Structures are given as C-alpha cells and as structure tokens.
Structure 1
Amino acid sequence: MSMKNLKQYILPVLLFISGSAFAQQTPAPEQSRPVTIVGATAHIGNGEVIENSLIIFQNGKITTVSDANSSDRQYPGTVIDAKGKHVYPGFIAPNSSLGLVEIDAVRQSDDEDELGELLPHVRSIIAYNAESQVVESMRPNGVLVGQIAPRGGRISGTSSIVQFDAWNWEDAVLKEDDGIHVNWPNSVRRGRWWEGEDRGIKANADYQENVRTLSDFFRNAKAYLAGSQEQANLPFQAMKKVFTGDQKVYVHANGEKEIIDILTFKKEHNLNNLVLVGGYDALKVVDELKAANVPVLVGRVHSTPNLEDNHYDLPYKLAHLLQQEGLLVALETSGSMERMNSRNLPFYAGTVTGYGANKEDALKMITLNTAKILGVDDSLGSLEAGKDATLFISEGDALDMRTNKVSQAFIRGREISLESHQTELAKRYSDKFEQQEKK
C-alpha cells in the first residue's frame, strides 16, 4: 500500500479517536433509596400544574405526585428542597438519528443509512452508540429519551426508543423496533440544472411509479406472510408486526397531495397505526387526518417557509394550529445538523408558545403527546404515579433558553450526570479567564 493510500485510512481513524477522547459520563447506578422532591412547581405534562408539589419515587417508579400543602412532613429517603424551581417529565426527541452518526466527515462513525431501498428488516438500534458525545449533550437541556430512527431509501428500517444514560444499546433500549420508517415519494421536484433543466419546481414524472412500487411491496409482503414462507425473505418477514398493528408506520411527507395519497395508502393496506412525520401541508387536509385518526410529528419549528407565498411564521405556529384543530401533535427535530440541534427541542416548544400555544400545551408536544404517538405513554411523558421516574429539575422555565438551567435529572430513578464535553470545555476556559484576571 502506498503512503498516499495509507494516509487515507489513518487520517479518518485519528479523527475518530481524537473525537472520542472524552467518553460519555459513567452511567448512574440503580436507585437504592427513595427520593422526595418538595416545593417545586410541577409541570405534569398533561396540561396540569401543581405550584407547591410533592413528588416521591423509588425503585425507578413515581409513587406520589401531590400538593405538598396537603401532605405530612415525614418524607422518605433523600429529600430535595426544590422551592422556587420547576420539575418536568423528561423531554422526548422522536425521529432522531442520535447515536447513529458521531462525526459526519468520518465515514466509519456514520451508521444512519444502509444500501438499498426497501429495508424494513434493518434495525437502527444495533448501531446505536450509547457513548456518543452528542447524545450526552442532550441531558443538560432535559432531553432524556429519544426515538432512534434510520435514514435513506424508500423504507429506511425500524426505529427504537432509548433513554440517554446507558453502557450500551441493550441497556438503553426502552421499546425495541417500535415501527418502520417510510420516505414517501415527492410529487414534485426541482429542475436538474446540471442536465440543462430549468431550476424551477416541476412535476415528478416518476411519482406514480414510485408509489406503485411501494404499494406492491406491502401487497407482496402480506401475500408472502399468508403463504408457506418456505423461501426466506427477510424484508417481507420484517413486515409481520406492521400488519398485525404491533409496529407503527412512520411516513415522512410534507406536501398536500402526498398526504392525501398516504391516507389512501393507509386505507388500502389497512394500516391502523400510521403516523405522519413532517406534515408541512397538514393544515390543508386536517379534516381528512382527523377522520383517519393520524397523529403528526411536526417538522422542526426553527425553519424557514418552504414556499415564497407561505406566511413567514408558518413553521413556528403550525403545531399549535394543528393542535387547535384536534389533531394529536408532537415536535420532531430532523433537518440540518439534526443530532446537535436535538438539544434545542425544549426551545422549539418555547417558540410555539410565542405563536399561540400556552406553555402547558406546548410542553405536551415534547412530553405526553410524543409518548402517546410513540406508544410509550404507559411509562413516560408525564409525572404520574406508576410511571418511570424520568424527570428533571430546572431553576427556571425549561422552554426558555434564558432560564432553562437543569440542576438535577433522573432516568428511571437514577440520578444522572449533567456533565458533557461542552461543560468540560466551559469550565476549562472559565478557569483560564479567571486566572488571567488575577494577573
């Protein structure tokens, strides 16, 4: 091997090693004694607020959520005086590729996409890196749980739901293979200027054929599963839980025509658990979505309008408008630099409050609504007795980037570290400037 070729292999490895020099904080041990939080303003996640709350959890589960004024003063275990602070359920980031890519420029650390188009048998969870520096940077903002979804192809594969304090993917997983992700074809496309086409938007001549290919796959998979299955077909076998309703179908689309065609597809293939992801034009077909009982994971709030004649603030207010119409709505974070920007999830909800929603309704969009859409609301999404003690304490309003300062966080009752590579660097350079001031 020539020196030039050798450098091509050595450089990415060195970059990957240097980027991994600061590993994730050691995962917390199991909860060993009860914890009592007293005096905080508790934002339950279902729209309710308790101004002076009492929250007790043990063995990883919440046992008490009540008004502290109506309780006795004999508090069990470790007592946290949180007067003047706020307590929230852990925020949930759906449709995220967190842990699947560490350094975009290093191919060896990129596991978000696989070769092929129809890949329902590809499982993102086995590629999830629990020691990702990017993942640990979510926790200081209260983002404690995520749905790890693959990218690429027509059917990308299956997602899984994880908590963000674990040794490996087996420890992290909360719900394995919760659903498949379908990237619906676009009915329009931009002109390919490199082939001499006009740069403007035009109809996609392949749209109907692409939809037909997807429909044929679902139809053939159902026929295969109804047959003898003598010849193994992994993609078809992976569709079994989709047809029984045990796995959801997350369909990524934005256009009005695409959404209408998706609803037709849903009915044609009897898909009871279908979720629309993106939904930029969902407001135009809101009645149809309501009739089909389809929830929406609304695309990133901090975005610019897709078209010149859209309102400048449509991305900011879309989630609230859909929720007003009676749809079950939550916020997702995919897009440019989506892994890093996932830590801004609470501030996306905060922006929604500036465009019509009240704070508790916006909070639902990153807690209980998300948990309902993902099918984990029996254990996550709100501060209620019997649910996982996955929650955090903030010194201020957690939806406001100026006041969100998380002081303590717990995942299933385990008090987790809030340190990250960023906090280490912040301390390092703060110390540097303090030393310079003393000179």
Structure 2
Amino acid sequence: MKKLKQIPIVLLLLCVTLGYAQQTPAPKQSKDFAIVGATAHIGNGTVIENSIIVVSNGKITAIGPESSTAMTNQALDIIDAKGQHVYPGFIVGNGTLGLVEVDAVKASNDLSEMGTYNPHIRSIIAYNAESKIIESMRPNGVLLGQVVPRGGRITGTSSVVQYDAWNWEDAAIKMDNGIHINWPSSFSRGRWWLGEDPGLKPNKNYAKQVKELADYFNEAKSYDNGTKTERHLPFEGLAGVFNGSKHVYINVDDEKGITDAVNFAKSQSITKITIVGGYQAANVANFLKQNDVSVFLQRVHTRPELEDDDYDYSYKQAKALVDAGVLVALEPSGQMERMNSRNLPFYAGTTVAHGLTKAQALQLITQNAAKILGIDDMYGTLESGKSATLFISEGDALDMRTNIISKAFIDGRDLSLETHQTKLWKRYSNKYSQQD
C-alpha cells in the first residue's frame, strides 16, 4: 500500500521533469509580420542588403530590397532587424537526433534494430520530439533534420522533421523517403586486442559481402514484380527504391567502395543516390558528377585518417567537391554526433577558411541539403511561396563568435530559444553576480 501511495509523487516528479526538459511548441502563426532592414542570405548564393521579408500563414509572401518591396498589409507586425542577418533554417542530414536520449539507458535508445537487412524499419515512429538535445539546436539556427537509423547492412528508412513539435506526427515534413545502406568495407583493421596487426589490410570477404547485398536486392525486385501471395515486409520496404519514390543513401568512405557502390546502384536502376561520409569522395569527384551522385560529407572537424593525408584534408574536401560540380552538403556523424549537430553552421564556416565563399558554405547546410533530402520545394532558401523557416542573427551565423540568434521561426511560428543550457546559464549567472 505504501508503494501505491508513492506513485502519484513519482508521476508528479516525472511531469515536472518533462516540463522542464522541453519548451512548449510555438502556436500557429496568427498575424502577418515583416522582417525589415536585415541582410537576407537567401541560401542560393544571393544576398539582399536592407531587405524586407513578409510572412503570412507560415509562408514567405514577399522578399526583396526595402526600396522596391511593398508591404500591402498595414496590419503587419514589424520586426526591426537593421544591422542583423536573416538566414534559412539550417538542415542536419544523416542525423540521429531524437532516437537516443541517454546512451547508457537502454530504454531511451532506439538507434538500431537487430538483424542485417531492415529496410522496413521506420525511424520516424521512434523519434522523440521532446528530447532535451533537440531544443538545444534552435539557438544556433539548426531547425530541420533527417532522422536516420543505424546498424546492419540496410539500416532502415529515414524521414525529415522540424525541430519544434509535440510528437513525431507533428514533426514530420517528409515521411519514409530514404533507405540507408552500410556498404561493405574493402579494407579492415587487425584486432589489436588479439595481437593482430592493427594496420589496414584488404577485406577478404569484401566480394562476398557485396554479392550478398546484390542478391538481396535481386530477390526484393523479384518479389516486387511477383504475385506477393505471402507478405515479406523487408522486401516491401525496398519497393520505393525500384520505383524511384525513395532515395538511397550509401555510407561508404574509401575510393574503391564509393565507385563500387555507385556502380551497384546503377546496376539496380537506382536513380536517387547519395554517398554519406565520403572520406575519399573528392578523389572520384568527376565520377560522382558524371553519375549525378550527391554527397553528404562527413563532419568537417575530423582528423586525417591516413598517415599520408594532408593535415587539413577534411577541411578542404568540400571545396574540391563543389569545384567539381558535385551537389554536396554537410553531416555531423562521428563521436557525440547528436550533440555536435548544433555545431553544423561552424563546420560550414570552417570550409570558408579553406576555399569556399560564405555563400557556397551556406548552401552546404541549406539549399543543397534540402535538395538532397527532397524538401527544396518548401525549405532551404528564402523565396516567395516557401515556408517561413528562418532565423535572425546579430552577426555571421557561420561564425560561433557572432552566431547570436534573436528570433527563429518554423513555418512562421515564433519559436522559444530557451533550452536546458540557457536556463542553467541564467541560474548560475544570477548566483555568482550576487556575490561580493
């Protein structure tokens, strides 16, 4: 009986904890507004000084220079942004935000499923819109992301979400549109803990593993073309790959693996292909361009992997791919990937220091990412008719010293920029400011 009396107390504490963890999602836009006087970075290479951006019903209805853009609605709320900058919401590709809260707590980890081939697994239904980590993205301008499962040869199906929602249904803006493959590695390292040489050596099972993947695709294609007297959910999960409704993302880093993966996809008549990671993608940039293959480039702040690579190898990869005409965007994978997603704009900023213009670097996390994810009809650039998913920064949003967000909007909804971190900062700032 004593334990039963404790249940309401536990539930109350849980509710308080959850309320503290996540800001209430912003309500739907109720009144038209205009952002006036800011430098507008469109996301497609264009910059408009002293701009006007008019927003109605969650969409941009007018954008242009202040001198030539009329504001027809006199009831507009005016946001004076003179001296500030407006950007499209930044987009995280190949992310796992919302799938794990605490790595050490199994019940909060929905990152991967058991099994080798899981094309039918939907990451979106495991997405936790109330994650503490997600709310920490918004103060850096990161407002959209791809939710990607991990594990196995075919890891599952991804969706694209916006980062201010009650639940996964509210968050989803593009459902189940990507299939993710972990390509077999053509090289392997010795198991040093067993006394083996830890250096790279050819993977003896590489050809066998590639054949197994090809056989699986062929079986799925036969099933798709067959009578389907008995349901096979994994094979059904691949149907969109063959009819072109799903994009295929292939995680592969080495030059040979990238070439083999693209040729494999072409042999399966797959038309929508993106290389994810792509450590040596710049070595085959012309091949990728010729085959219309895009790249989600691995985290820029990564050390060289091979002893004869330049010290700044990872920093200048993006420029090499852009110069070759490859459609390239950035992704944050690696250690602490979920937390590092908030640093996406600063990864783009690093590419500026290594050859790209600021406009080109911005495209890596806005327009290009939107094109790869198939959401560029509504997101990724500031254009009339598109979603008003944008933010206002006091300075250059690609520089961590000046990326100070004063306002952020998703579909015209005015977002809270409060997070667990900002609350702690205010709390302890007050504590120490009161001391003698």
TM-score if structure 1 supplies the norm length? 0.94
Query: Partner of 1:54 in structure 2?
Result: 52
How many residue pairs end up in the alignment? Answer: 424
Q: Which stretch has the larger CA shift, 204-213 or 167-176?
A: 204-213
Per-residue CA shift, 1:142-188, capped at 9, x if unaligned? Answer: 00000000011100000100000000000000000011100001011
Distance (whole Å) between structure 1 residues aligned to residue 374 and residue 234 of structure 2 = 23
In structure 2, what is the equivalent of residue 316 of structure 1?
315
Aligned amino acid, residue 34 of structure 2 = T
How far apart are residue 71 of structure 1 and its match? Answer: 3.3
Contact 2:94–2:331 at 8 Å: present in 1 too?
yes
Structure 1 residues 312 and 34: alpha-carbon distance in aligned structure 2, compared to 1, 3 A threshold? same
Q: What SS does structure 2 have at the residue aligned with 1:69? A: coil
Matches within 5 A, 1:157-196: 157-196=156-195
Task: State the distance in 2 between where 1:221 and 1:76 align.
Answer: 57
Where in structure 2 are the equivalents of 1:28-107 lying within 5 Å? 28-72=26-70, 76-107=75-106
Give the corresponding residue for 1:228: 227
1:297-312 correspondence to structure 2 within 5 Å: 297-312=296-311
**1:238 equivalent in structure 2:** 237
What is the identity, as a one-letter code, of the residue corresponding to 1:214? Answer: L
- Confirm whether residue 416 of structure 1 aligns to residue 382 of structure 2: no
Q: Provide the TM-score with structure 2 as the length reference.
A: 0.95
> CA-atom RMSD, angstroms?
1.6
Q: Structure 2 unaligned runs (5+)? A: 1-10
AA partner of residue 131 (structure 2):
S
Question: Helix, strand or coil for the counterpart of 1:382?
Answer: coil
Residue 296 of structure 1 aligns to which amino acid in structure 2? V
Task: Indicate whether 1:362 and 2:361 are aligned.
Answer: yes
Contact kept? 2:33, 2:56, Cα under 8 Å: yes
CA contact (8 A) 2:63 2:69 kept: no
Equivalence for 2:272: 273
Q: Distance in 1 between matches of 2:185 and 2:71?
A: 61
- Does the C-alpha gap of structure 1 residues 71 and 387 become closer, same or farther in structure 2, counting only changes over 3 Å? closer
Task: Tell me, in whole angstroms, the C-alpha distance in 2 between the residues paired with 1:278 and 1:194.
Answer: 27
Whole-angstrom CA distance in 1 between matches of 2:253 and 2:272 = 19
Partner of 2:130: 131
Residue pair 1:98, 1:148 contacting (<8 A) in 2 also: yes
Q: Report the CA distance between 1:76 and its aligned residue.
A: 4.3
SS of structure 2 residue aligned to 1:22: helix
Aligned equivalents of 1:43, 1:139: Cα separation in 2: 18
Instruction: Tell me the residue number matched to 1:9.
Output: none
Shift of 1:104: 1.0
Q: Is 2:211 aligned against 1:212?
A: yes
Deviates more, 1:278-287 or 1:79-88: 278-287
SS of residue in 2 equivalent to 1:130: coil
Equivalent position of 1:23 in the other structure: 21
1:287 matched to 2:286? The reply is yes
Amino acid at match of 1:26: T
- Equivalence for 1:391: 390
- Where does structure 1 lack aligned partners over 5 or more consecutive residues? 1-12
CA distance in 2, matches of 1:222, 1:428: 58
Shift in CA distance, 21/389, structure 1 to aligned 2, threshold 3 Å: closer
Offset at residue 17 of structure 1 (A) = 9.3
Partner amino acid, structure 2, of 1:241: G
